[in-house]
């Protein structure tokens, strides 16, 4: 049975989808078979990040409507074998309900070691559906006051949904900018404000982010890749010390 983790944030644009693609690829490097379910109906993006957008025929809404089997709507990433994507519907109207998500994920988790569920921004119905089937949650935040406020809200919702393990990822961290802005005296204050245990810090890495937008989860000697590998190891239960 695979481990099901929802990737969430509250505030939009913190890097959830980029993180899902990067950590998904890192989990594959550790020998896992990984499925990313995109729950961002109407604004899907993980298909693009995994280089499959040009060959999409079916998405999650087609499974619900009975137009295809789950297998037909799951696509392999073009560059990372054993990394798969189940795309979100193109239209927000076709957003899947929490109940359906639970049933679907229950079937799919037999076939994967990890399922990562990529959440839309906010704490609306899309968030509820994405979180419904998850046992674990990762909140992706930036070290900024607005992002951390969203993070606290989302954490409270996740607790109410009885998600047992909630972890924080600080994404796009740039020490120089962090000091210059002076929003927080140090990273400990950021973690305190978020109210969740730290899973890892992903540095700002424009080259890795650009690779992802080109349809290729980043690999090789890149700052963000190093962070994704360490986070993937922790998600797999390995004891990897924290630190940038
Ligand atoms: N670690 C990073 N370093 C630099 N840019 C990043 C990083 N993570 C994400 N980005 C960029 O931030 C923007 C938002 O990322 P995205 O993954 O789409 O966020 P979300 O899914 O939370 O809306 C994109 O332009 C992406 O390339
Ligand atoms: Mg996204």
Question: Going from the N-terminus, what domains does the chain have, and what CATH number goes with each?
Answer: 3-234 (3.40.50.300)
What are 216-242's pLDDT values in tens digits? Answer: 999 999 999 999 999 999 999 888 877
Closest C-alpha to 118, from 171, 52, 41: 41
Closest approach atom of ligand 1 to CA 40: 21
Which residues fall within 8 angstroms of residue 206, CB to CB, at 6 or more apart? none
Q: Read off the pLDDT band of 199 (50, 70, 90).
A: very high
CA-nearest residue for atom 19, ligand 1, is 15
Say what the pLDDT of residue 10 is.
Answer: 81
Residue 11: pLDDT over 90:
no
Say what the pLDDT of residue 242 is.
Answer: 74
Say what the pLDDT of residue 186 is.
Answer: 96
State if residue 47 touches ligand 1 by the CB under 6 angstroms criterion: no
Residue 166: pLDDT over 70:
yes
CA-nearest residue for atom 27, ligand 1, is 209
Closest C-alpha to 88, from 122, 128, 56, 123: 56
The residues that bridge with 169 in the sheet, in sequence order, are 140, 200
Say what the pLDDT of residue 72 is.
Answer: 96
Q: Per-residue pLDDT averaged across 132-154, rounded?
A: 93
Question: What is the number of residues in the chain?
Answer: 244
Which residues fall within 8 angstroms of residue 140, CB to CB, at 6 or more apart? 7, 8, 9, 14, 15, 16, 19, 169, 171
Residue the block writes with tokens 């020998």: 31
Residue 140: pLDDT over 60:
yes
Say what the pLDDT of residue 58 is.
Answer: 97
Mutate to test the pocket of ligand 1, among 10, 16, 18, 143 (most ligand atoms within 8 A of CB): 18
Say what the pLDDT of residue 13 is.
Answer: 93
Q: Which ligand is nearest to the CA of 42?
A: 2
Mutate to test the pocket of ligand 1, among 9, 15, 16 (most ligand atoms within 8 A of CB): 15
What are 81-136's pLDDT values in tens digits? Answer: 999 999 999 989 989 999 999 999 999 999 999 999 999 998 889 999 999 999 99
Residue 16: pLDDT over 90:
yes
Say what the pLDDT of residue 240 is.
Answer: 82
What are 29-81's pLDDT values in tens digits? Answer: 999 999 999 999 989 999 999 999 999 999 999 999 999 999 999 999 999 99
Residue 152: pLDDT over 90:
no
Say what the pLDDT of residue 244 is.
Answer: 56
Helices 187-194 & 145-160 angle (0-180, nearest 10): 40
Say what the pLDDT of residue 96 is.
Answer: 92
How far apart are alpha carbons 178 and 164 in whole angstroms? 31
Cα first-last separation, the chain:
31
Cα of 120 vs centre of ligand 2, distance in Å, is 6
- Model's pTM, two decimal places? 0.97
State if residue 8 touches ligand 1 by the CB under 6 angstroms criterion: no
């Amino acid at each position: 049975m695979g481990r099901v983790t929802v990737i969430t944030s509250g505030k939009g644009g913190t890097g959830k989808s980029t993180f899902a693609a990067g950590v998904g690829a890192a989990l594959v490097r550790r020998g896992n078979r990984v499925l990313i379910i995109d729950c961002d109906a109407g604004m899907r993006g993980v298909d693009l990040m995994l280089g499959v957008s040009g060959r999409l025929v079916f998405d999650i809404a087609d499974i619900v409507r009975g137009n295809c089997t789950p297998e037909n709507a799951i696509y392999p990433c073009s560059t990372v074998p054993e990394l798969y994507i189940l795309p979100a519907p193109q239209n927000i109207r076709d957003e899947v309900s929490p109940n359906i998500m639970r049933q679907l994920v229950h079937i799919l988790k037999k076939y994967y070691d990890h399922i990562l569920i990529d959440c839309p921004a906010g704490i609306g119905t899309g968030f509820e559906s994405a979180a419904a089937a998850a046992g674990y949650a990762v909140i992706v935040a930036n070290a900024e006051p607005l992002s951390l406020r969203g993070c606290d809200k989302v954490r409270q919702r996740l607790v109410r949904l009885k998600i047992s393990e909630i972890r924080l990822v600080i994404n796009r961290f740039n020490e120089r900018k962090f000091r210059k802005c002076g929003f927080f005296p140090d990273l400990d204050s950021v973690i305190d404000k978020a109210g969740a245990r730290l899973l890892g810090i992903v540095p700002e890495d424009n080259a890795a982010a650009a690779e992802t937008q080109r349809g290729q989860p980043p690999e090789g000697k890149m700052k963000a890749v190093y962070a994704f590998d360490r986070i993937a190891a922790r998600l797999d239960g390995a004891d990897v010390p924290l630190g940038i």
